[in-house]
Structure 1
Amino acid sequence: MPNTEQVNLDWENLGFSYHKLPYRYRAYFKDGQWCQQGLTEDANITINEGSPIFHYGQGAFEGLKAYRCKDGSVNLFRPDQNAKRMQNSCKRLLMPEVPTEMFISALQEVVKANQAYIPPYGTGATLYLRPFIIGIGENVGVKPAKEYIFSVFATPVGNYFKGGLTPTNFLAADYDRAAHKGTGQSKVGGNYASSLLPGNLAHERGFSDCIYLDPIEHRKIEEVGSANFFGITRDGKFVTPKSPSILPSVTKYSLLYLAKHNLGMETAETDIYIDQLDNLVEAGACGTAAVISPIGGFQVGDDFHVFYSETEVGPVTRKLYDELTGIQFGDKPAPKGWILKVDLDD
């Protein structure tokens, strides 16, 4: 039986790292259907050396969180949107889709089984969930796998960027993240493998991460290495880049909704040119892992642009952060369908 008694960790200093928890979910796709579904204590996967995930990157993943509320209950934030995005990634890589009901059920099983590791309310930490699907089996030619594994594991995490809701600086990448007709809109491993070198170069220069520009002209902001980008214009508009190679962030679209409906702001997905940064008075990175991370300064070539401040969070960014996290942790009313409660006692 899973342990339900809260474990004792240094919740406020977790960082964003892997912890091996007792249970994870696993399912196999064979002969055209999903089978062998359920929890396992085995954190290792043994697959054939010819598996397409190894050689051709046939795999996709998702990221979302479970949030401990003040009353002790646990929220999942818009898991149906993560299921939909994984289905789109599967279509792009010719993999079988994971049905929404199966996807959400797997999340609930993993959260319930590992509930002792869900960080307490008020610590700012969460239980991060990583669903993924990989192509496996004997293969050597460039073709889709015949068999697949879908799995979900969990790990308690703190802030992705050091400092949390504290402005940090970013660097315009000299490399492209993805092409407009490539896989940038899908959450697949190759997009992140290509970001390792430019991200490391940014870290060596003291920046939190890269900001990638459009792959055609290198004049427009696309996204941060591990998150989407947003800005607040001088006339109070919430703007975020529009491009066919940007990952459709659940957090970004949630912020677009909250900015418009909760804060009464005008919103737009539009081109954001690096030679017009003076039009932005605030900027941030947003995503499941990053939540909202204020961008203090942005290095573009020899020019360094400061948005609101390198040390203080802008007022609109803070309001958006409070609205988003308030909903996720159950402190604020959520739009219909955004929150799914996990039944820990069922």
Structure 2
Amino acid sequence: MGRYNWFTSQPYPLESPNPSYSDEEYADVDWDSLGFGLMATDYMYITKCCEGQHFEEGQLSRYGNIELSPAAGVLNYGQGLFEGTKAYRKENGRVLLFRPEQNAIRMKIGAERMCMASPSIEHFVHALKQTVLANKRWIPPPGKGSLYLRPLLLGTGPVLGLAPAPEYTFLIYASPVRNYFKEGSAPLNLHVEENFDRASRRGTGNVKTISNYAPVLMAQTTAKKRGFSDVLYLDSATKKNLEEVSSCNIFIAKGKCIATPATNGTILSGITRKSVIEIAGDLGYQVEERAVGVDELIEADEVFCTGTAVGVAPVGSITYQDKR
């Protein structure tokens, strides 16, 4: 992978787990039947801090429910962020993370936008590593999937009037997963949505706030009932340009040119997206981050989606205004 040393032991090696953790090599899981669903693992990482302070070193506790005030900022005003990343098991037994510092940076940017305290990049990565090691037996065998890690940043302090929460919680839990879409590695079947927007200009579409995701459920549920894999959204201003799919970025390829919508404030800057752009450039492709018209789909040689959960997923068909 050229100069992009993302899957090697540097700079994020995972050392041997603490002896107090389970010494089983693998949990009792049918790895061949693994999908993308929640499976409770052993431990989660948790730490708290008050507004205006810094997060201290957290602790690992058994996976389970957390207690929240009914007036918590995250429950009343949606003051929350999440990230997603994965740990992989290599053939030689090593466990590796994929560009975790990029998730840490993105959470920090999102926290600034949402007026939240956030962990440092070093703290974020260290906490991920601890969570992975504590749940090592849940990492699938090589080629059977990965351990999905879900860092959460929540406004857990009580607040009645609209204001930043007085306390924040940083939490990481994990679940073994395989393919995000039910199609597995088969090409996706997307529907272009025109009645609902995913994000609007000068909103929060470019940060991974929890409030970005529930609004897509209506269009997504309707599309899935009609047999589609997911929904492809257009820009809210003109309804002429591609934005992204409900949970992933989109690319079109034509010859040696690859284009993807520019992250202009309404699109999430995906880490897999960033990686594909860098690799494509190294392989001699012309990569364009720009406005991509919906009418360009018909001329594309290839279309694919990228994201932490989906990986790199080929698109087999797109339906737009009842034309497939």
TM over 0.5: yes
* 2:224 aligned partner: 203
* 2:256 aligned partner: 236
Equivalent pair of 2:54/2:119 in contact (CA under 8 Å): no
* 2:33 aligned partner: 13
Unaligned runs of 5+ in 2: 1-19
The one-letter amino acid of 1:132's match is L
Query: How far apart, CA to CA, are the structure 2 residues paired with 1:84 and 1:154?
Result: 20
* 1:114 aligned partner: 135
Which of 266, 269, 273 aligns to 1:248? It is 269
The structural deviation recorded for 1:36 is: 6.3
* 1:45 aligned partner: 66
Query: How far apart, CA to CA, are the structure 2 residues paired with 1:277 and 1:291?
Result: 21
Query: How far apart, CA to CA, are the structure 1 residues paired with 2:183 and 2:229?
Result: 11
The structural deviation recorded for 1:231 is: 1.1
Query: How far apart, CA to CA, are the structure 2 residues paired with 1:116 and 1:275?
Result: 47
* 2:23 aligned partner: 4
Cα deviation digits, residues 93-150 of structure 1 (max 9, x gap): 0001210111001100010011011100122x10000001100122111100010100
Secondary structure of 1:195's partner?
A: helix
* 1:336 aligned partner: none
Cα gap change, 1:36 to 1:256, in 2 (>3 Å):
closer
Any residues of structure 2 matched to 1:59-70 within 5 Å, and which? 59-70=80-91
Secondary structure of 2:190's partner?
A: strand
The structural deviation recorded for 1:30 is: 2.2
Tell me the TM-score normalized by structure 1. 0.85
Equivalent pair of 2:47/2:56 in contact (CA under 8 Å): yes
Q: CA RMSD in A?
A: 1.1
The one-letter amino acid of 1:294's match is P
The one-letter amino acid of 2:73's match is P
Query: How far apart, CA to CA, are the structure 2 residues paired with 1:190 and 1:13?
Result: 32
Query: How far apart, CA to CA, are the structure 1 residues paired with 2:274 and 2:293?
Result: 21
Query: How far apart, CA to CA, are the structure 2 residues paired with 1:122 and 1:33?
Result: 39
* 2:12 aligned partner: none
* 1:326 aligned partner: none
The one-letter amino acid of 1:187's match is K
The structural deviation recorded for 1:303 is: 1.4
Equivalent pair of 2:41/2:63 in contact (CA under 8 Å): no
Query: How far apart, CA to CA, are the structure 1 residues paired with 2:38 and 2:229?
Result: 20
Equivalent pair of 2:40/2:63 in contact (CA under 8 Å): no
Query: How far apart, CA to CA, are the structure 1 residues paired with 2:61 and 2:85?
Result: 20
Query: How far apart, CA to CA, are the structure 2 residues paired with 1:26 and 1:80?
Result: 19
Give percent identity, aligned residues only.
Answer: 38
* 2:159 is the counterpart of 1:139: yes
The structural deviation recorded for 1:42 is: 4.3
The one-letter amino acid of 1:166's match is A
Any residues of structure 2 matched to 1:1-346 within 5 Å, and which? 1-5=20-24, 6-30=26-50, 32-35=53-56, 37-123=58-144, 125-173=145-193, 174-233=195-254, 235-242=255-262, 243-261=264-282, 263-304=283-324
Query: How far apart, CA to CA, are the structure 2 residues paired with 1:94 and 1:295?
Result: 37
Cα deviation digits, residues 3-60 of structure 1 (max 9, x gap): 1311231112211111111100000012623246110114211011101100110000
Secondary structure of 2:224's partner?
A: helix
Cα deviation digits, residues 64-116 of structure 1 (max 9, x gap): 00010110101101000000000011001000121011100110001001101
Equivalent pair of 1:28/1:36 in contact (CA under 8 Å): no
Tell me the TM-score normalized by structure 2. 0.91
Secondary structure of 2:185's partner?
A: coil
The one-letter amino acid of 1:188's match is T
The one-letter amino acid of 1:85's match is R
Cα deviation digits, residues 282-339 of structure 1 (max 9, x gap): 00111000001111111111211xxxxxxxxxxxxxxxxxxxxxxxxxxxxxxxxxxx
The one-letter amino acid of 1:22's match is D
Secondary structure of 1:201's partner?
A: helix
Equivalent pair of 1:165/1:292 in contact (CA under 8 Å): no
Equivalent pair of 1:83/1:99 in contact (CA under 8 Å): yes
Secondary structure of 2:198's partner?
A: coil
Query: How far apart, CA to CA, are the structure 2 residues paired with 1:97 and 1:158?
Result: 29
* 2:10 aligned partner: none
Equivalent pair of 1:26/1:40 in contact (CA under 8 Å): yes
Equivalent pair of 1:12/1:158 in contact (CA under 8 Å): no
Q: Runs (4+) of structure 1 moved beyond 6 Å?
A: none
Unaligned runs of 5+ in 1: 305-346
The one-letter amino acid of 2:314's match is P
The one-letter amino acid of 2:95's match is V
